[in-house]
Amino acid sequence: METIQVEAPQAIVDTGIKKTLIEDLALKTLFQGGEMSLVELADRICLSLPVVEDVFHSFRQDQLCEVKGMTHGTHVIAASAMGKERAAKLFGFSRYVGPAPVSLEDYSRRVRAQSVQRSPVQHADLKRAFDDLVLSDELLTHLGTAIASGTSIFLYGPPGVGKTTIACKIPQIYNDFVSIPHALEVDGQIIAVYDPGVHERIDATVPEDWDRRWIICQRPRVIAGGELSREMLDLELNANSRYFTAPLQLKANNGVFVLDDFGRQRMRPDELLNRWMTPLDRRMDFLTILGGKKFEIPFDVLVVFSTNLDPRTLADEAFLRRIPNKIHLTYATPDQFAEIFRRECTGRRLACKEGIAEYAVNLITVEMKQTLSHSHARDLVNQIFWAANYLGVKPEMSQSALRQACHNYFLPV
């Protein structure tokens, strides 16, 4: 993978963003924080001390700050009356206070360098990530080929066969890390990118000269289900804070975006597919900021569409061509289900006597006349625990308990 310089810029011109934006951010931070040393101010906005010292000289020249003393060889300053007045006006335009943003150009270059398509994926990685699942070698090969493409996947099949579980485990395959910016600047507007709910920060030691505007994280994982709406795929401007929040696909850049239960979202399937026709094809997205200006940004996402509907009823041929990997998941074989059942019992510390798993297979398929959905094992064990809890006894796996669980769980045929 290409290495991109991550050293903290030592001059404002090297930050990639305008001096006025840095000065405005520093002044708001100073206004909000009160007295602070230049080192503390540099820490707050995640820029180097030389950059902040340059800002300090501008503040003194424009009478926006007052020097309160010295500490550890650096000035301690506070916003002057003029500085406070200006900061108050700046808060009226944007209430963003925090790490300085990176430029769109720097962000795009970094995303391309750490592309999900360039991350090596091997059979051992899949075995590790899916170790607790019972999957055939053939399915692992299909999945590995699709994930190695770094493009998009349709996981489809009947309910209960493990589509969501498999999709959500895909991010665990990757062994490498990526850099995520706290925020992004586009045409003077700030877009918050880093999201602790999406980006898992790596507790790793970084060089002292590391550009702290970037955070080292696991490859992102975004999971969206029926709650997904059109608005979640566009920049969101908070009316109070006056700065943007990145849409889900931007937060997922260099990682995985799982669309669970595709076809059941708040936005129609054709609306979503039309929205993503170009990004999936060109791997570039277009977003709109204040004033209606559109800008181009990388769409470097492995998109996983998981659905129990027929893909042909959700998308036309033109769109299906843009999803090059289509993997059909089906019911477990008797041997697979028996192994899943035994693992479920072991994981729940429920003794599974010899032959009980095979008895479960026969009971479900012959007597109950049901298919062997992977999820049935978990759901039947749940029934046994619930019944034991109600009766005030220790859970026990037996033929009678299993039979009762089946009658509680399955609808009569």
Per-residue pLDDT tens over the stretch 339-366: 999 999 999 999 989 999 999 999 999 9
76 & 149 share domain: no
Report the DSSP pairing between strands 214-218 and 177-181: antiparallel
In angstroms, the first-to-last Cα distance of the chain is 56
185 & 114 share domain: yes
Q: Which amino acid is at 231?
A: E
- The pTM (predicted TM-score) of the whole model is 0.89
Report the DSSP pairing between strands 74-79 and 65-71: antiparallel
Nearest one of 62, 40, 64, 61 to 52, comparing CA atoms = 40
309 & 355 share domain: no
Has residue 53 got a pLDDT over 90? Answer: yes
Domain count, the chain: 3
Does residue 6 form part of some domain? Answer: no
Does residue 141 form part of some domain? Answer: yes
Q: pLDDT tens for residues 267-314?
A: 888 888 888 888 998 999 999 998 788 999 999 999 999 999 888 888
48 & 83 share domain: yes
pLDDT at 226: 81
| Domain boundary, last residue among 328, 349, 370 | 328
324 & 356 share domain: no
- Give 115's Cβ-side CA count (13 Å radius): 16
Token pair for 66: 């007052």
Has residue 205 got a pLDDT over 80? Answer: no
Does residue 90 form part of some domain? Answer: yes
Does residue 217 form part of some domain? Answer: yes
363 & 318 share domain: no
Q: pLDDT tens for residues 370-407?
A: 999 999 999 999 999 999 999 999 999 999 999 999 99
Question: Residue 70 sits in which domain range?
Answer: 18-99
| Domain boundary, last residue among 49, 70, 99 | 99
Owner of token pair 């993503």: 276
Average pLDDT over the chain, rounded to whole? 93
Does residue 7 form part of some domain? Answer: no
209 & 145 share domain: yes
262 & 380 share domain: no
Judge contact between 95 and 243, C-beta under 8 A: yes
Q: pLDDT tens for residues 229-268?
A: 888 999 999 888 889 999 999 999 999 999 998 888 878 8
273 & 183 share domain: yes
Phi then psi for residue 378, to 5 deg, are: -60, -45
Query: Where are the alpha helices (H) located in 245-374, listed in sequence order?
Result: 248-251, 269-282, 311-314, 317-320, 334-347, 356-362
pLDDT at 3: 42
Token pair for 288: 């709109």
Residue 2 — very low, low, confident or very high, per pLDDT cuts 50/70/90? very low
CA distance 405 to 12: 68
Token pair for 156: 């489809």
66 & 124 share domain: no
User: Which CATH number does the domain housing residue 73 bear?
Assistant: 1.10.10.10
Does residue 395 form part of some domain? Answer: yes
Provide the strand spans (E) within 158-283.
Answer: 177-181, 183-186, 189-192, 214-218, 221-224, 236-237, 244-245, 255-259
Has residue 41 got a pLDDT over 70? Answer: yes
Region 125-136 average pLDDT: 94
Token pair for 331: 């019911």
177 & 33 share domain: no
Report the DSSP pairing between strands 183-186 and 189-192: antiparallel
Does residue 315 form part of some domain? Answer: yes
Q: Helices 399-409 and 375-391 sit at what angle, rounded to 10 degrees?
A: 110
Buried/exposed 66-75: b ≥16 CB within 10 Å, e otherwise: beeeeeeebb
CA distance 133 to 374: 10
Does residue 11 form part of some domain? Answer: no
Please, what sign has the CA dihedral across residues 13, 15, 21, 27? negative
| Domain boundary, last residue among 279, 311, 328 | 328
Has residue 182 got a pLDDT over 90? Answer: yes
User: Which CATH number does the domain housing residue 165 bear?
Assistant: 3.40.50.300
345 & 319 share domain: no
